[in-house]
Structure 1
Amino acid sequence: MRLGVLTTIFAAASTAVFAQNLTVATGAPPTSVDPHFYNAAPNFALSMHIFDRLVERDAEVKPYPGLAASWDAIAPTVWEFKLRPGVTWHDGTPFTAEDVAFSVARPPTVPNSPASFSPFVRAIQRTEIVDSHTVRFHTAAPHPLLPVELGSIAIVAKHAVEGRGTEDFNSGRAAIGTGPYRIASSIPGDRFELVRNDAWFGPRQPWERVTYRVVANDTARVSALLAGDVDLIDQVPSTDLARLRRDNRVSIAEVQGLRLIFIAFDRSRRGNLPLVTDNDGRPMEVNPFDDVRVRLALTISVNRQALVERVMEGAAAPAGQWMPPGTTTHAPEVPVPEYDPEGARRLLAEAGYPDGFRMTLFTPNDRYPNDARTAQAVAQMWTRIGVRTAVEALPWSSYSGRSSRQEFPIRLAGWGSSTGEAGSFLISVLGTFDRRAQRGAANAARYSNPELDALTDRAATLLKLEDRAAVLRQAIRLATDDVAMVPLHNITNSWATRRGLVHQPRMDERTVAMGTRPAN
């Protein structure tokens, strides 16, 4: 019997029977079951079902104990973590400090990672196993954010993973976690079948089985919800939000998200950028994006309010930086750039491009809400100032790999600062790419600013939040003055459930079955 038929049968049954199964339709495909392979929200959301972390983050990205029962800085450069007793892996093997030491050492070693988790463990110089349930992390300097950063590192089973690679997670051989669900089967790019782990140390989950489906098409995702084929969808299309709010068959859950949608300039080459030419189609000997006047012209020629109103239909807020208002390290002195197409033309002329040039903007078409539509709208704005911009939209499965290989001259991207602080973006996206320093793991554009790196490193050592926030706001101002990228908008995260369910929206936009409950 097909899963959709089963879902319909359960929907008609009593709440007690219905509450055994949940079908989730997500708009963005997880690219791997390996929780250390790709620091992207779809991958992270899937891994949260199977694996736990020492420190977890709630829907408002506030930390709370996970596999660590407690933690404390016992010396300026030593953090001690006491592990939760009695935890077992899905195969019944006891969880110990050996697994923790193995897990924090693994992210920098994962091959072909498009965006590594290594920045979250870069501060750890040495891991000391005190006993089976006590581990100490030694850092070179005081590092107050280590517990928050470890909230991004899934703990994997040493006995199941050692000597194995990402493909072994995808096949299920290494996908043995301590989390609330076990993976039963998967069809990459289509669905993942999860079964409840009744031995989980956390609260008992109402769902005996979770089907995690990938439905990239917005219309198909909404239709599946309204037809009763799925119970929960994410990335509710902005075009459907008003209609769905009036539909008594569904409920909408929304929250201001931490994700910035932005455009990054390729800085990996000094000239001859692919698909960037003069108006006659000839390659350019210099990289126009190396000129801050060109970068500034492109950012002030974007009408962000129009993007929010016409493309996002109100489901976003214009952005001039990556941290939204209300977060601890938002810099209120950095405004949303004013729309000034005439000023942009003057800047282009000053930079030596009075007649502009031609380029191709790359974007995913199934990763972020209205991603391709946003790119098309921005391209039209740039074309109006003389920078004739074509758009090439690709599925995320193709876009992500090509982007990490610096194949794109200019790209639309997104980043959710799930730690709740500006440092995440600074280290991973704007930090100078350096594998040894574990910096710039998601810096596909290869932007580099040593002064910005120095501010980032300084902030990481400051114990007081107000001192750290002040330095991070200084870094935001510096990145803005240098036009390190073109910020567009912060997304409002939205989900829709069918009637009878309640979903807790997360600021980090992760779609997890653990956040969904029967209404009564």
Structure 2
Amino acid sequence: MGAQRLDAFDLQHAIPPGALVPPESWHTKGVLTIRSADRVTSRLRAIAATRFALCCLASTLLAGDPAAAQRPADTVILGLAAPATSVDPHFFNAAPNAQLSAHVFSRLVERDARVQLQPGLAESWRAIAPTVWEFRLRPGVKWHDGHAFTAEDVAFSLARAPNVPNSPGGYGSFLRMVKQVEVVDPLTIRLHTKQPHSLLPTEIGYIAIIARHAAQGATTEDFNSGKAAIGTGPYRLLSHTANDRTELARNEAWFGPREPWSRVTLRFLGNDAARTAAVLAGDVDLIDQVPSADLARLKSDPRVAVSEIQGLRLIYLQADFSRDGMLPFVTDGAGQPLPRNPFRDVRVRRALSIAINRQALAERVMEGAARPAGQWLPPGVYSHDPGTPVPPFAPEEARRLLAEAGYPEGFRLTLHSPNDRYPNDARTAQAVAQMWTRIGIRTEVAALPWSAFSARSARQEFAMRLLGWGSTTGEASYLLANVLGTYDPSARRGASNAGRYSNPALDALTDRATATLDPEEREAMLRQAVHMASEVVALIPLFHLVNAWAARSGLRYEARMDERSLAMGLRPAP
């Protein structure tokens, strides 16, 4: 069989089960050249075998690293796929930042590996009136510099969190219902809400508590330098080098159980092969986002122990709704800007959604490390809507919808994606681009490092973007308030709504749901909101990740639904 020129990457028909077209054969203009299916499969197997062999060779070389061999037994290094953009715990609501913050700073309410609420700096909490929550604080807690922790620090933190300058997506939405913060005494604080708000303890658990005496007037850079990074968490900050590593030391005065690790290094290893090699060599003790291409082999390798759990993170696509007229990175077939924003038309959004073969993405691009999604919560989670299925793969219907919307010849589009933030993020974007090209939306992919991508996305510089969102509250309102809520800093809504989608009816339903104290009534409203968002294709869900970690032999990691990689979850194997 000779070479074939395909108009698109048709995962359902052109590629047999088990085969995965390697990234180096993808063209950003959405055209792919392959040879026979058998030869593609053979080549991929050879690539995978060679890649793993190189990892093993690299691990052998790394094993000879004197620094690795001489590390004390009570020190650990975590190899992380995505870097934190700041030490400032209020700067950016992103998982890499939150996992760094969790080592240094504490919260009133914490969450365990299955996102269940646990006491933190607050020993207890209760609603003493329909719109008043009281938190009793833990006595005897000290800041890393020895100062006493009090309710004044809590009040200061809650005032600062929504107001960090230049934040690309902060924490204001968690405090949108808080009307007044009342310091009753040094160990008691009351939060008065605008209306009954059942989720306040859950939401307050996202706000890191910082030291008033150290952070008064401090900038985000003061946290990055360590000057203001004084916490009450299990580890103290020693140093932070952007896009490289963060060094931590055990907090001997921590109020929780004594940590077994005297020193912790959070090391950024964005390259998948490098992470695999590093853990096989023992150069690092734990890696996250285990590369899907290596997962099966690592599970059978005695040098490591793999832990997995169904995650809460949705990988999705979000269009730009911030303007009615011409969009950047969208043109007609001749390269001329379109006079209006095509994504304002729900028929276009539906066409883009049903042109995607989600099962193929999950099975082949993600190699089984994901589950197809039609909404942002996986089955079995509170407020998942059984009446909102995974959208069908229907490319012919997609073409009809495009023609009905006035685009019978389609148009040109650039899909922007990070290339170092989520597992297979750029590869997923490439596959989606090929599927869209097949229905006439000739799509190019621009993949950027997360640090650059996140800043540009927050400024609405993209027409279409690939993103991820982990609903770590374990319910639907977290995304509704942050990602789909109308962007309104004064109302502290829509902090992570990079596409600037706005639906007042959806906002109102979200508010009614979160004000409903009865859990069954609240769940019914949230399911209604999930279905409403799906019907209008407010975002395009792709799949939910399965979270995986690999620890070196002799260690075990407690897999977390919120995907955080924490030294506090790494322990010697029993």
Q: How does the TM-score come out when normalised to structure 2?
A: 0.88
The residue that corresponds to 1:302 in the other structure is 356
Secondary structure in structure 2 of the residue aligned to 1:213? strand
1:255 match: 309
Q: Distance in 2 between matches of 1:448 and 1:495?
A: 37
How far apart are the structure 1 equivalents of 2:75 and 2:250? 10
Match of 1:491 among 527, 542, 545: 545
Per the alignment, residue 477 of structure 1 pairs with 531
* Pair 1:423-2:477 in alignment: yes
Amino acid at match of 1:344: A
Give CA deviations for 1:438-486 in whole Å, capped at 9, x if unaligned: 0000001000001100110001101011111110000001000000011
Tell whether 2:59 aligns with 1:5: no
Matches within 5 A, 1:442-461: 442-461=496-515
- The number of residue pairs the alignment matches comes to 512
Residue of structure 1 equivalent to 2:415: 361
Deviation at 1:181, TM superposition (A): 0.2
Q: What is the CA–CA distance in structure 2 between the aligned matches of 1:103 and 1:397, rounded to whole Å?
A: 25
Distance 1:5 1:493 in 2: 32
Equivalent residues of 1:7, 1:21 under 8 A apart: no
Q: 1:51 to 1:4 in 2, by over 3 A?
A: farther
Superposition RMSD on alpha carbons, in Å?
A: 1.1
Letter of the structure 1 residue corresponding to residue 287 of structure 2: I
Residue 279 of structure 2 corresponds to residue 193 of structure 1: no
CA offsets, 1:378-402, max 9 Å, x none? 0000000000000000000100000
Q: Is the 8 A contact 1:363 1:411 kept in 2?
A: yes
Q: CA 1:451 to 1:207, structure 2 compared with 1: closer, same or farther past 3 Å?
A: same
1:277-356 equivalences in 2 (<5 Å)? 277-356=331-410
- Alpha-carbon contact 1:179-1:197 (below 8 Å) kept: yes
| Partner SS state of residue 473, structure 2 | coil
Task: For residue 358 of structure 1, report the CA deviation from its aligned partner.
Answer: 0.3
Instruction: Please say if 1:80 is aligned against 2:141.
Output: no
Query: In structure 1, what is the equivalent of residue 96 of structure 2?
Result: 42
Judge conservation of contact 1:348–1:354 (CA < 8 Å) in 2. Answer: yes
State the percentage of identical aligned residues: 64
- Displacement after TM superposition at 1:9 (Å): 3.0
Distance apart, 1:376 and its partner CA: 0.2
What do the CA deviations read for 1:127-186 (whole angstroms, capped 9, x no partner)? 000000000000111111100001100000000001111010000000000000001112
Shift of the alpha carbon at 1:122?
1.1
Inter-partner Cα distance in structure 2 for 1:50 and 1:212 = 12
Task: State how 1:90-489 maps to structure 2 within 5 Å.
Answer: 90-489=144-543
TM-score w.r.t. structure 1 length?
A: 0.98
CA distance in 2, matches of 1:301, 1:32: 37
Distance 1:198 1:241 in 2: 36
Map Cα deviations across residues 478-505 of structure 1 (whole Å, 9 max, x no partner). Answer: 0000000110000000100000001001
In structure 1, what is the Cα distance between the partners aligned to 2:208 and 2:372? 33
Q: Tell me how far 1:126 sits from its aligned partner.
A: 0.4
Measured in 2, the distance between the counterparts of 1:29 and 1:112 equals 19
Residue correspondence of structure 1 range 15-34 to structure 2 within 5 A:
18=73, 20-34=74-88
8 Å CA contact 1:4, 1:230 repeated in 2: no
- Quick one: distance in 2 between partners of 1:511 and 1:437? 32
1:14 alignment partner in structure 2: none
Residues 145, 4 of structure 1: CA spacing in aligned structure 2 closer, same or farther, 3 A cutoff? Answer: farther
Going from structure 1 to structure 2, the CA distance change for 1:371 and 1:30 (only over 3 Å counts) comes to same
Post-superposition Cα deviations, 1:320-349, rounded to whole Å, max 9, x if no partner, equal: 000000101100110000000000000000
The alpha carbon displacement at 1:7 in A equals 3.2
What is the CA–CA distance in structure 1 between the aligned matches of 2:111 and 2:119, rounded to whole Å? 9
Residue number in structure 1 paired with 2:50 = none
SS at match of 1:152: coil
Whole-Å Cα distance in 1 between the matches of residues 308 and 159 of structure 2?
Answer: 36
Q: Describe the SS at the equivalent of 2:70.
A: helix
Letter in 2 for 1:61: V
**C-alpha distance in structure 2 between counterparts of 1:107 and 1:236, whole Å:** 32
SS at match of 1:363: strand
Structure 2, unpaired ranges of 5+: 1-62
Q: Equivalents in 2 of 1:489, 1:462: separation in Å?
A: 30
Q: Secondary structure at the match of 2:386?
A: coil
One-letter identity of the residue aligned with 1:457:
D
For residues 466 and 159 of structure 1, what CA distance do their matches in structure 2 show?
43
C-alpha distance in 2 between matches for 1:263 and 1:216: 22
Q: CA offset at residue 246 of structure 1?
A: 1.0
Q: Following the alignment from structure 2 to structure 1, what is the Cα–Cα distance between the partners of residues 397 and 408?
A: 12
State how far apart, in whole Å, the 1-side matches of 2:326 and 2:279 are.
48
Distance 2:368 2:66 in 1: 36
1:61 matched residue in structure 2: 115
Q: In 2, Cα distance between the equivalents of 1:301 and 1:478?
A: 21
1:305 and 1:276 map into 2 onto residues whose CA distance is 27
Is the partner of 2:415 in helix, strand or coil? Answer: strand
Cα deviation for residue 108 of structure 1 reads 1.6
CA shift, 1:3, in A, is 12
SS of the residue corresponding to residue 253 of structure 1 reads strand
